[in-house]
Amino acid sequence: MPMQPLADVSDSELVTRFRVGEDAALGVLFARYEGPVFRFLLSILRDHHKAEDALQETFVQALRKGGDASPDGFRGWLFTVAHRQAMLQLRQAKRRPTAADAEWLLGVADDAEAPESQANRADELRAVHELLTLLPEGQQAVIRLRVYDGLRFREVAERLGCPLNTALARMHDGLRRLRELWEGRDRA
């Protein structure tokens, strides 16, 4: 019996396939819901860039916790995550200080932080940089562009010349591997 193309498979089956390691299944879900979730976010946030940011964070959460979603309720779960991301964006916009205030706050925070905690944070950052070098180059590149350069996933994919789903999957796999390496470091 020939395999059914992933685009024709139900959400429930795609979630089940993702749980057993078929990353392409999550890519199909993202492609299926990217437009509707974006329009939903845009209707709440009324700002194209904020809606794009919230969409990316929604998909990051789906990568991290998509396996926890009920196979039959993935769509509702995804829109719930999107709604939470939109509300988070709105709350952050209300709290965000002006640029001058942010510089002042950073200066106060840096001066007030104990030297010991500054040193610990610097050690942890060095450890993360070292662990990052242990990842495959594709995962390193996506994490660096997304986390250090602050690019959106679409921009990361364009810069690397790969599909958006590939960039998202590399981020997911890379973060999972980094977490494993970090936990292994703590046990050693």
Instruction: Say what the pLDDT of residue 117 is.
Output: 63
Instruction: Say what the pLDDT of residue 3 is.
Output: 60
Report the pLDDT averaged over residues 22-41.
86
CATH number of 99-187: 1.10.10.10
pLDDT in tens, 50-107: 888 888 888 888 877 766 778 788 889 889 999 999 998 888 877 644 444 433 334 4
Confidence of residue 159 (pLDDT cuts 50, 70, 90): very high
Confidence of residue 115 (pLDDT cuts 50, 70, 90): low
Strands (E), the chain: none
Residue boundaries of the structural domains of the chain: 6-95, 99-187
Topology at the third CATH level for domain 6-95: Rna Polymerase Sigma Factor; Chain: A (1.10.1740)
pLDDT higher than 80, residue 5: no
What is d(CA 122, CA 105) in angstroms, rounded to the nearest whole number? 20
Say what angle helices 48-65 and 23-45 make with each other, to 10 degrees: 150
What is d(CA 115, CA 105) in angstroms, rounded to the nearest whole number? 18
